Structure 1
Amino acid sequence: MFFVYILFSEKLNRYYIGFTSNLSQRFDFHLNDTQSRKFTYKAEDWILHFTLECKSKEQAMAIEKHIKAMKSKTYIQNLVKYPELQHKLLLKYNV
């Protein structure tokens, strides 16, 4: 099982989009691993803003790429606000 996740930092007013097979371990990494994290190192107030459970690694990668390509805070906010968008993504990228 894989997850697409979106973190939000109020300090930076920015989102971070990623995918993983272990959500709790990956979130802990973003908060604590100062050696190898790059972008998330810039803030310490990251919260888990959004998660989407995917059937496969390929599906998670495709959805992550799609969300990043949108380059839109409004799109990310709408993913949370309108669950039907999540369903459409899962159907579109049913790999």
Structure 2
Amino acid sequence: MNLLVYYEQFQWIGHAIAREKQIKAGSREAKNDLIRSMNPTWKDLYEEIKDIMTE
């Protein structure tokens, strides 16, 4: 089962890629802390983003 538990929006693809590299370079605990800071219950956020994805 896959859940969307964290996302960020960017206007420019280059900024998104740079942020993705920054996040990927962090430890698993840093990634978990980032998720918990925005989504403490690890709720599936797909319903929030599905309309954004079709724009």
Structure-1-length-normalised TM-score: 0.36
Provide the aligned C-alpha RMSD in A. 1.4
* Deviation at residue 61 of structure 1 after TM alignment: 0.1
1:52 matched to 2:8? The reply is yes
* Structure whose alpha-carbon radius of gyration is higher: 1
More strand by share: 1
Q: What residue identity is the alignment partner of 1:76?
A: K
The number of equivalent residue pairs is 38
> How far does the alpha carbon of each residue in 1:29-71 deviate from its partner, in whole angstroms, 9 at most, with x for none?
xxxxxxxxxxxxxxxx11112111112100000000111111x
Show structure 2 runs of 5+ residues with no match. 39-55
Structure-2-length-normalised TM-score: 0.57
After TM superposition, what 4+ stretches of structure 1 lie above 6 angstroms from structure 2? Answer: none
More helix by share: 2
